[in-house]
Structure 1
Amino acid sequence: MKFVENEVTFVMWFMYEYTENEITELNQSYDTRLSEEEKKKIFIPIYDCMKKYQGSWHMEQKPVFKNCFLIECRDRNDLADMLHRLQCADIFAENITANAIALLPEQEVFLRNLMMPETKKISMSTGYIKDGRTYVTKGPLQGREKMISRIDRHKRLAKLRFAAGNTDRELCAGLEIISKS
């Protein structure tokens, strides 16, 4: 819920799984046809992760979901209006409007709590494993250890199951395990 000039405006997030052709078309319009405020409403959430090259670890950013972007708007009509302002091809706009998954309020709250509000980025978490149990000591995954379905210690990566509409998606987040006993 956002407050705008003494009136309450309800917003929701839609998730859309795109193809490479669709993201190319969207990118062509995104930079030139949207205001800065509208650009904040269509985004690909990212996460910090570590990658080792040239003998040292480097921070990188990668998409949280494979081939998905999120759109913040009031409803499907507002979504169609936003796509119209992008001057997307009609078939592309209709496809997004029809097939975007409306996230449930608790799903949206979960994602908002993981991400930094301005950058829509999930920062790196750190933790340890003791007696086969994961403990996250720092970062957005702290307190959400039970949601982690898999940890790749070598890639410093945690995978979480995320319900989006009627389907489950895999969400990635950076997690460095500093010790294991």
Structure 2
Amino acid sequence: MAMYVVQVMGGRERHVAELINKIKPESIEECFAPSFEFMKKRGGEWRRVTDILLPGYLFIVSDDATKAYAQLRAIPAFTRLLGSRDDGFTPLTSDEMAWLETFTTVRGRVVPMSTAIIEGDRVIVTDGPLKGHETLISKIDRHKRLAFLDMHMFGRNKTIKVGLEVVRKRVAIA
């Protein structure tokens, strides 16, 4: 089984994933739109919410990409399997699959929120999927409680948002 990327219209990821899972084509074992958990302030209260991790993309698990491509054409929505029929459809690399498997929960394919402290200019993740992967963090927005990761996905560099709560900041004493 390999994992492939399906391009869809932005904002329609969950809807298209539901359509595919409802029709359940025989060549597609799993279809999902990974999401991430973060905190958002609504009505003066901080609440845990989820959003799409990679807007405009779904992932399918299939053993026959050509058959999956043909079956995706029957879906009443825009779907485009990355790659081409002539050159073959491009599955995710083992590193990309490992990243998805490591960072997302199996149930629901959600990247849970991480917790960190900042000491001087160093970020130390104390809990969550980013623990031990601090080098991936390129930027932190403490007010929106987000971390931005620079990743190489689908043959290009992408910036991905994930939830990160900084619970403490200490000034480093030299």
Q: TM-score, normalised by structure 2?
A: 0.80
Relative to total residues, which structure has the larger helix share, 1 or 2?
A: 1
Alignment pair present for 1:17 and 2:41? no
Q: 1:166 to 1:97 in 2, by over 3 A?
A: closer
Q: 1:139 to 1:44 in 2, by over 3 A?
A: same
3-state DSSP of counterpart to 1:30: helix
Read off the aligned partner of 2:4 and give its amino acid letter: F
Alignment pair present for 1:123 and 2:108? no
Q: 1:97 to 1:178 in 2, by over 3 A?
A: closer
Q: 1:28 to 1:112 in 2, by over 3 A?
A: closer
Given that residues 8 and 57 in structure 2 are in contact (C-alpha distance below 8 angstroms), is that contact kept between their aligned partners in structure 1?
A: yes
In structure 2, the partner of 1:4 is none
Task: Please point out which of 157, 173, 178 is paired with 2:162.
Answer: 173
| Alpha-carbon distance between aligned partners in 2 of 1:105 and 1:50, rounded to the nearest angstrom | 31
Q: Which runs of 5+ in 1 are unaligned?
A: 1-10
| Alpha-carbon distance between aligned partners in 2 of 1:25 and 1:62, rounded to the nearest angstrom | 13
**Cα-Cα RMSD:** 2.9
**Which segment is superposed worse, 115-124 or 65-74?**
65-74
Alignment pair present for 1:70 and 2:59? yes
**Which segment is superposed worse, 100-109 or 58-67?**
100-109
Q: Which runs of 5+ in 2 are unaligned?
A: none
Deviation at 1:83, TM superposition (A): 2.2
1:5-154 to 2 correspondence within 5 Å?
Answer: 11-20=1-10, 26=16, 29-30=19-20, 32-34=22-24, 41-80=30-69, 82-83=71-72, 87-88=74-75, 95-96=80-81, 98=83, 101-154=90-143
Q: 1:121 to 1:44 in 2, by over 3 A?
A: same
| Alpha-carbon distance between aligned partners in 1 of 2:130 and 2:82, rounded to the nearest angstrom | 32
Deviation at 1:82, TM superposition (A): 4.5
What are the superposed Cα offsets for residues 121-153 of structure 1, whole Å, 9 maximum, x if unpaired? Answer: 111100111010100000011000000111111
3-state DSSP of counterpart to 2:130: coil
| Alpha-carbon distance between aligned partners in 2 of 1:31 and 1:78, rounded to the nearest angstrom | 16
| Alpha-carbon distance between aligned partners in 1 of 2:41 and 2:78, rounded to the nearest angstrom | 38
| Alpha-carbon distance between aligned partners in 2 of 1:153 and 1:147, rounded to the nearest angstrom | 17
Q: How many residues align?
A: 165
Deviation at 1:25, TM superposition (A): 8.1
Identity level (%): 24
| Alpha-carbon distance between aligned partners in 2 of 1:167 and 1:115, rounded to the nearest angstrom | 21
